[in-house]
Amino acid sequence: MPDNRQTEKSFGSVLKENWLKVVRNEHFALGAILAGLIAVMIVRTGGAFLIATNIRSLLLRSSIRGIAAVGQAFVMLSAGIDLSVGGVAILVSCLGASLMSESPRYAAHLPVALGVLIMVLVGIGLGASNGVMVSRFRMSPLIVTLAMWQIGIGGAFQVTKEGETVRYLPETLAFFGKGSIGGVPVPVIIFVVMLVVGYLVLNHTSFGRSIYAVGGSEVTAMLSGIKVRNIRLLVYTICGLCAGIAGVIQLSRIMAANTMVLYGLEIDSIAAVVIGGVSLFGGRGSIIGVLLGVLILGVVGNGMNLLGLTIYTQWMVRGGVILIAVVIDSLRRR
């Protein structure tokens, strides 16, 4: 007959091993941090954090940041970086507003469908421009995308007639930022769709596997027959697409545009991706981690607003969070 104590010991060992695997999983750690932050904010705000309007505001702000972060994740998984996200989104937002505004100061008065299409295409075009310079001309992603950020801000200043706030937009545009389907805000739905598509592409396509391979080792990827230049072009194009969509949603949320509405989006997207476990050196990370990183950053920002902290204090806290995430990534890589 089998020894029951041995059987129990074996079962206990297996259970312990499985538990350790769960605890050591990066997503578990991020989930635990998120839950802890939510608990702290509930206590510190006296329950105000759980008010329905606050949760809705948190999800809406996180959706815009999250959509940009999905595109940033594609770039960073390939061992790149895109600092132009904020500039592209601002330019797209201001350009769309100037094209669709019903104000007599702007002559185009385009219908919403055409205006939104142009906004998304401009985002794609600017992202592809980054990709061409990085992949074809072997230019530094840092310098290229920083230059594109400057171009975006400057272009937005020009299309808004030297930085004025553009208003008087068609009411139908508000659907993308203020509308809801089945009680769920449209921006949240778009964010979830982007997450699902990003997950499927990265985990269930040869293109996704190629992105990880390029980020892990460009030389090895080339020797394996992967067209590295094409991969780099496509990830920056995807990032431009996501920045364009973020610009559309932000414009339709506030129904106005100026050169400051999405300022800092590039930092937020990078922070969310790094906090979510995507390596700055490429080749490691997941869309699930990006989602958790977006929510962590959103909860921290929302909580600081509720606590009445100044914008400068918030910058310091967010900078500290990013720095901690970078240190953890560096230690993990070692």
pLDDT of 6 > 60? The answer is: no
* Higher-pLDDT residue of 246, 27: 246
Q: Report d(CA 176, CA 167) in Å as an integer.
A: 16
Over residues 78-113, the pLDDT tens digits come to: 999 999 999 999 999 999 999 999 999 998 899 999
Local confidence band at 19 (pLDDT 50, 70, 90 cut-offs): low
- pTM, entire model: 0.91
Mean pLDDT score, 189-216: 97
Q: Report d(CA 287, CA 294) in Å as an integer.
A: 10
Local confidence band at 330 (pLDDT 50, 70, 90 cut-offs): confident
Over residues 157-177, the pLDDT tens digits come to: 999 988 899 999 999 999 999
Local confidence band at 216 (pLDDT 50, 70, 90 cut-offs): very high
* Higher-pLDDT residue of 160, 1: 160
Domains located in the chain, CATH noted: 40-302+310-328 (1.10.3470)
Local confidence band at 136 (pLDDT 50, 70, 90 cut-offs): very high
